[in-house]
Amino acid sequence: MKISAFIVAYNEADNIADAVKSLNFADEIVVIDNASGDDTGEIARKLGARVIRLEKNLGYAEAKKIAIENCANRWVFWLDADERVSPELARAIGKIPEEDFDRFAAFCVRRKSFFIRRWIRHCGWGNERIIRLFDRTRAGISDALVHEGVVVQGPVGEVDGEILHYTARDFYTFFAKQMKYARLSAQQMVQKGRKVSVLDIVFRPIGAFIRTFFVKLGFLDGVEGFTISAINATYTFLKYATAYYWTVSRKEDLG
């Protein structure tokens, strides 16, 4: 079965080469350059990817839908620029029996996440399974502004091997990424008419820290686990505070 792989990238010149190289199992690689201001597109093009540059950053979900539309094959594999396909996963995908492509609408894989190059086993990051290989006639990308996923109509199988997720090369990059996600999550909440109170702003960040550090055993990841838990609490505070003030000020333009 021929497989198209796609990456949506924005200012990922430091990551895109390794991401593209890890997709050596794919019959074609499509890179959506989401209006980057660096050499992301040119680097990917030199490595043999078909690059489609967008003149305006359309966000995560919309750009991924464009990527899927431009894939030549029915089966597609989604990879983020800060991820790598492990050699074991690449081999396992190549060994999927032909009949399983008819039997399943999608396949999930394990994801192994790192925080500044350290593998995080807890904090809710361990044993994560995500859908990344799917039949585009029976599955597609959700409309979420952030943390979008794959919506599947049909049974889901599983493939051995892992995606390696390098969340950030340094603390600042990771923090900045989470703050961006907080704003998008707040925008999504307001658009859906979600009511946010002062109590949400006060208690939900505390709950987020307790859940990540204690319930999800983040303390077993040492200082990295504490850092992730603290950033998660900050993310939660900013998400609810932003949504609250947008609602209070009755702003219609969230852009």
> Regarding beta strands 156-166 and 106-115, do their DSSP bridges make them parallel or antiparallel, or are they unpaired?
parallel
> Regarding beta strands 3-9 and 118-119, do their DSSP bridges make them parallel or antiparallel, or are they unpaired?
unpaired
Q: Is the dihedral of CA 191, 64, 171, 206 positive or negative?
A: positive
> Regarding beta strands 75-78 and 3-9, do their DSSP bridges make them parallel or antiparallel, or are they unpaired?
parallel
Residue 201 tokens, joined: 């702003």
Domain that holds residue 244: 171-249
Strand, coil or helix: what is 60? Answer: helix
CA gap 226, 63 in Å, rounded:
33
Is residue 105 located within the same domain as residue 194?
no
CA gap 173, 198 in Å, rounded:
29
Q: How confident is the model at residue 127 (pLDDT cuts 50, 70, 90)?
A: confident
CA gap 87, 95 in Å, rounded:
13
- Mean pLDDT of all residues in the chain? 95
CATH code (residue 90)? 3.90.550.10
The model's pLDDT over 5-20, given as tens digits with 9 standing for 90+, comes to 999 999 999 999 999 9
Strand, coil or helix: what is 182? Answer: helix
Q: How confident is the model at residue 250 (pLDDT cuts 50, 70, 90)?
A: low
CA gap 160, 102 in Å, rounded:
18
Is residue 39 located within the same domain as residue 143?
yes
Is residue 144 located within the same domain as residue 189?
no
Is residue 84 located within the same domain as residue 190?
no
Is residue 100 located within the same domain as residue 122?
yes
| Token pair 């949506």: residue | 8
Length of the chain: 255
The model's pLDDT over 78-88, given as tens digits with 9 standing for 90+, comes to 999 999 999 99
Q: What is the mean pLDDT of the segment spanning 128-150? A: 94
Last residue of a domain, one of 125, 143, 166: 166
